[in-house]
């Protein structure tokens, strides 16, 4: 499969580059650093705000501790 590296835009090939879709270990680590630095975000929340309210309610086991 042919693609372009998401970091440097060089052509990559899944049959040649073990770090595919990246062209190199350097670009792979740069992408990981971008995630760690929160440069990327998930566009939609995984949980709705209503789910958060349900999690804040005391659980039956909470009174025992």
We report the CATH number of the domain holding residue 32 as 3.30.50.10
Query: Per the domain annotation, does 50 fall within a domain?
Result: no
Is 0.75 topped by the overall pTM?
Answer: no
Q: Which domain holds residue 24?
A: 1-41
Task: Describe the chain by its helix, strand, coil percentages, rounded to 5.
Answer: 40, 10, 50
The number of domains in the chain is 1
Q: Is residue 20 part of a domain?
A: yes
Give the residue, 56 or 38, on which the prediction is more confident: 38
* Domain presence at residue 49: no
- Per the listing, tokens 């760690």 go with 36
- Residue 7 within any structural domain of the chain: yes
pLDDT of residue 37 exceeding 90, the answer is yes
pLDDT in tens, 5-34: 999 999 999 998 899 999 999 999 999 999
């Amino acid at each position: 499969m042919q693609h372009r590296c998401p970091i440097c835009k060089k052509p990559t090939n899944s049959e040649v580059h073990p770090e595919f879709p990246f062209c190199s270990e350097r670009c792979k680590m740069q992408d990981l650093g971008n995630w760690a630095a929160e440069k990327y975000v998930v566009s939609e929340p995984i949980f709705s705000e209503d789910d958060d309210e349900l999690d804040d309610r005391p659980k039956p086991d909470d009174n025992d501790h």
